[in-house]
Amino acid sequence: MTMSRVTVPRWQSCAIAGLGRILRMCLSLMSSAGAAMPSISPSRSRSASPQRRRKQACQYCSKRKMKCDLREPKCTNCEEQGKDCIPAERRLRARPTHGRIEELEREVERLQAELRRTQGIPSAPSISPTQLDMTRSVDASGPTSGAVSIAPMDPTLWHRGRVDHGPTSALFEDDGGHLETRYVIDGLGSEASEGELREKATAQCAAERHLEVMNLAAGKLDFDGVPADLAMHLLALHWNRQHFAFLISYRPLFMRDMACQGPYFSKLLLNAIFFSVSKFSDRPEVYDDPLDQKTAGSRFMRRVKELLGAALDQSSIPTIQAMLLLSSSLFAIGHQSAAWLYSGIAIRMIFDLGLNYDSSNQTSLLPEEIEIRRRVVWASYISDKIISLYQGRSVSFEQDRLHVPPRFLDRYEEQELWTPFAFPGIHRYPGAPARAISTFTALCRLSLIMERIITDIYADRGPLHRPAQHLRCLTESLDRWKQEMPAEIAFDPTSDGPVPPPHVLSLHSVYYTLVTLLHRPFVEGGMHAISPELVPISWARCESAAKGATDILTRYRQTFTLARAPYLISYTTYVAATIHARMVSQRGPGSESARLLAVCLEGLRENSATNPGVSKMYNTINRVMDRLGVRLEGSEIDSEAYQMVNDELDLTAIIRSFGAEHPLGSNDLIQDMSNGFDQSPLDNLYGFLGFTG
């Protein structure tokens, strides 16, 4: 028998939703009423752990509305952030009376009777076509066995993790920090651990990779008018190199929804990807003028601007991803203002959607949907810190607004074999595991330290209170990060071991750069070098870090070439060169420092062909060399010159090379520093592009 389709009026759908809320309230109240009974629930016994756990979330997790794993003496979040793990005060709530429960039960019965009377259909609630459209079909998601159920969602809230309303807003909801992760499996109410979800997300990614080929063969992929051959070429370039930088894009959902116009694909994001990787392509059709590198991807940027207006009307995850990709790419070609604005749009949309809160407590989200939210918010957080370094502006996405743990579910790209497809002419590299998740997780943790360096050392224009203590704490954080690095991504550039993929090398370069960023202000003669005894220690760390970064650069260049290296590699090279130039002025053109400086200059020159914005860094180093009287032409390395130690260096001359006029330890220098003296050097590290604010 064929059943007729029943159309449910909107007000009845609202009534059904209200009924559902009342039912959930009743269940919550009844469970609270029975809490005093000495029973043990099956789910609680299954999730029991031999580890000692407390009953209440800690203050740190509660304040940031993060899931606390209740471990003692420290939960995982507090241990990762180096915080004191103090239990939060538990707010006691009045236990509902039996009379109140009976009253709610009568109200539920009344609403059910009213619905049956007005609908004239069986009491089981119907599902509207809109709700049906928001669920995934069996064909799209694969077998339903073991799949995570999806509750019907309002289409306008599809991307929303948690709407971010502050305490002054009428829409603010204070849950007291009592967030618990629940993942509903098979609709039966059983719970899945994060480990089980990790397996599901990884398996789903593998399945989507197979579907990519099938959808391409079936002609289902929407390339927005770009020929399929060119589109797949550009996407392959993106997945091979740019994608691994910050994991901004998420391949499984992007490629899946490209075939069905799902919510995680947009033509704006597609064209942003095409624009970002065009400069790495040798296809003439991506250039307006094949003889002009600056015209790479111009056709896709014009399309981006056509689509951008409508995309800004409502926040969405694909728009955030597009803004982050455009911001990174525009910096590399010298369009700093546009890059800053696009980054700001992405951050505002994240706050608008509430993605800066962990979405793992939402049972309506699939594991891969939790994954894309975590990746996007951390990619935005990292990008914000790097842009702050480039432009010398305060961070826009502060750690206090970040409530998402740096833990990721999809591990497919961890063991995936990476080969240098995006680096033409590199045939001798045998390939290596991508280690994308380990690298990205380590970069997330490093970016937290990066924010502290920016805000504590650079962004604060007043005198730094207790500078030695700040220096010690931040140095310990960097050293601990290095010591705790997973073995699979650890790398010694001076060894003869295999070279990891480029994004792993970039991670190590960023570490060495942060060491220099932390210690150089204590040598410059600026407002932070109040303690003269710190100068020789900090300069030794700067010299060691500069050599480490240059050793990484050398292995990178030998293995992959720098022609298509990311802009970030050039920045780390620039920072190292500012130290080498001053060492050459002390040790002469025949020193090891001269060789390292020459490597940095050649690296900047080589990378500027692809990234025109690198030319500014190259020119700045040459001006510093002119000012210091440094010449490299025709020099030969003198191994004995490299054996000099800091005690033999003229540290006062090094301080003056940054712009300070007073000798080390003089009363005038200390007085200027205590007054907040800040004479910016020619080669700024923070804000080298000349922006402030």
pLDDT one-digit tens code per residue, 396-414: 999 999 999 999 999 999 9
**Residue 250 contacts residue 261 (beta carbons within 8 Å):** no
Q: Output the average pLDDT for the chain.
A: 78
Residue 419 tokens read as 């080969």
* Three-state DSSP class for residue 54: coil
Q: Which residue has the higher pLDDT, 290 or 25?
A: 290
Assess whether pLDDT exceeds 90 at residue 109: no
* DSSP strands (E only) in 13-113: none
The C-alpha atoms of residue 450 and residue 238 are separated, in whole angstroms, by: 26
686: left (phi over 0), alpha (psi -120 to 50) or beta: beta
Least confident of 76-90, 227-241, 317-331: 76-90
SS3 helix, strand, coil % of the chain, rounded to 5?
55, 0, 40
Model confidence band, residue 231 (pLDDT cutoffs 50, 70, 90): very high
Phi, psi of 534 (to 5 degrees): -80, -20
Q: Which residues contact 232 (CB under 8 A, 6 or more apart)?
A: 216
Lowest mean pLDDT among 120-134, 230-244, 337-351, 620-634: 120-134
| Among candidate residues 513, 511, 512, 488, the one with its CA nearest the CA of residue 501 | 488
Residue 595 to residues 188, 209, 584, 659, Cα–Cα distance (Å): 66, 46, 9, 25
Token output for 67 = 């899931």
Q: What is the per-residue pLDDT for 170?
A: 40
Residue 670 has pLDDT above 50, yes or no: no
pTM of the prediction?
A: 0.71
Q: Is 43 exposed, middle or buried (0-12, 13-18, 19+ CB in 10 A)?
A: exposed
C-alpha closest to that of 577 among 557, 597, 592, 598: 597
* Per-residue pLDDT tens digits for 180-223: 343 443 333 335 677 888 899 999 999 999 999 999 999 999 99
- For residue range 510-568, what is the model confidence (pLDDT) as tens digits? 999 999 999 998 887 654 456 777 888 999 999 999 999 999 999 999 998 888 888 89
Residue 309 predicted with pLDDT over 70: yes
**Is the confidence at residue 361, as pLDDT, over 80?**
no
HSE-up (13 A, CA, CB side) for residue 343:
27
Which SS3 state, helix, strand or coil, does residue 184 take?
A: strand
HSE toward the beta carbon, residue 638, CA cutoff 13 A? 12
